[in-house]
Amino acid sequence: MGNSYTQHYNELLESLEKKSLRRKLKVSESASAPLMTIDGRSMLTFCSNDYLGLANHPQIADAIATGAQRYGSGSGASHMISGHNQAHDELEKALAQTQSSFIPNIKALFFGTGYMANMAAITALSSISDGSNAMGSMSIFSEELNHASLIDGIRLASKQNHAKIHIYPHQNMDALRKMLAEDSNPFKLIVTDGVFSMDGDIAHVNQLLELAEEFNTLLMIDDAHGFGVLGDGGLGILNMFGVSASDTRASRIIYMGTLGKAAGLSGAFVAGDAGLIEWVMQKGRAYIYTTASPPLIAQGLLKSLELMRDPHHRLNLEKNIAHWHTHLKLKKWHLMPSQTAIQPIVIGSNADALKVAQHLDQRNIWVPAIRPPTVPEGTARLRVTLSATHTADQIDQLIQALHEIEDAF
């Protein structure tokens, strides 16, 4: 049965399988939490980005139910047509408010996902001409370990708007400075993850801002893993680095935060100077040509923003990270130097990383093995994520299992 195409793709799938690169879906039968029912089994999980434990919060569920009663289930159209609801509008104002102490003249734009937000913002900002005259193209300076959604946005910007791409080595500010100095283009954009999603380390925001000022660039920071977690009240990476709206350099920042991780729901926002954000709205095809996410999500997110301010979630998370660092003693494998909720353990080969994840799975512990192309070849790893809702006892179970598996490996 089948044809030459089905045969071709089946062969490709077999090749993935042989390289230990074929991903398998697990079916969860319960809400996101440290203990979940997965494919019928009760499992202890260390894999979600629900850092504050809000993904199953009853008050958010209630707010969503109120949103559904008030506005129905779907938005009906894209934002630019009839899909922009007052709940979206209220949410955008509240999101802008979270960053208003750090960025002057701020406006925020809400998106259905972070992937779309990054695609829209980068393609729009690299669109530097209104078509009436030739302006050349944008030079984009992209961090080596940027998230796939930033990379895809940059690739599309190159295709659509002829943006020139420079990739600078991870956290290497000297290399970035050299690249910036060698490029005489007057239109430049630096793009970076705030917290690196597969490594857990944090971008050097102050140095990036200095370089942005010195070389007259825009600076886009994807704070997917920092919003809700870093800074006072979880306000994010700009607050953590003491960026202030009264500092004129801050008008160069385009801040991106996601709402499906610490905020516990879904969506994302891009915030920055009102003119820049208005341009993203006018030119971001991933904003314009898609149905607005249901207003009930915006209603739920307004409640998330309120709950995120409660410091006890972050205190629990910090306590859990400290507990993990104190008790985990690896001999062969390498715990990456991260102070955030993302605590990767580098194993090395794809097959070994998969084997360790399978040993954990046999003990009903779920930690995902992350392999290329998500991470560089030879650095396959376990991506352990900690949450405010893990107990010390649950973390000890993982640590003991890792010690035993490593000893026998």
Please report, as ranges, the residues that interact with ligand PLP according to CB under 6 A.
113-115, 118, 147, 149, 193, 197, 222, 224-225, 258, 260, 268
- Contacts for 159 with CB less than 8 Å, ≥ 6 apart: none
CB of 147 to ligand PLP, least distance (A): 4
By C-beta, is 121 or 224 nearer to ligand PLP? Answer: 224
CB of 194 to ligand PLP, least distance (A): 8
- Order of strands across the sheet that contains 342-348: 334-335, 342-348, 380-385, 369-370
By C-beta, is 191 or 369 nearer to ligand PLP? Answer: 191
CB of 262 to ligand PLP, least distance (A): 12
CB of 152 to ligand PLP, least distance (A): 10
CB of 223 to ligand PLP, least distance (A): 8
By C-beta, is 83 or 257 nearer to ligand PLP? Answer: 257
Residue carrying structure tokens 């009930």: 296
Q: Residue 229's closest CA among 56, 63, 385? A: 385
CB of 167 to ligand PLP, least distance (A): 16
CB of 124 to ligand PLP, least distance (A): 16
CB of 79 to ligand PLP, least distance (A): 17
By C-beta, is 149 or 350 nearer to ligand PLP? Answer: 149
Residue carrying structure tokens 């289930």: 73
The C-alpha angle with vertex 120 and arms to 222 and 305, in degrees rounded to 5, equals: 50
By C-beta, is 53 or 257 nearer to ligand PLP? Answer: 257
By C-beta, is 237 or 250 nearer to ligand PLP? Answer: 237
CB of 78 to ligand PLP, least distance (A): 18
Residue carrying structure tokens 């408010």: 97
Q: Residue 304's closest CA among 10, 108, 50, 16? A: 50
Task: Give the CB-side neighbour count of residue 63, counting CA atoms within 13 A.
Answer: 22
- Contacts for 132 with CB less than 8 Å, ≥ 6 apart: none
**Cα dist from 260 to 11, 51, 298, whole Å:** 35, 10, 12
By C-beta, is 115 or 333 nearer to ligand PLP? Answer: 115
By C-beta, is 268 or 360 nearer to ligand PLP? Answer: 268
Residue nearest to ligand PLP (CB): 114
In order, the DSSP letters of 135-198 are: ----EEEEETT--HHHHHHHHHHHHHH-PEEEEEPTT-HHHHHHHHHH---S-EEEEEESB-TT
| 245 burial level (CB within 10 Å; 0-12, 13-18, 19+) | middle
Answer whether 259's CB lies under 8 Å from 301's CB: yes
By C-beta, is 137 or 258 nearer to ligand PLP? Answer: 258
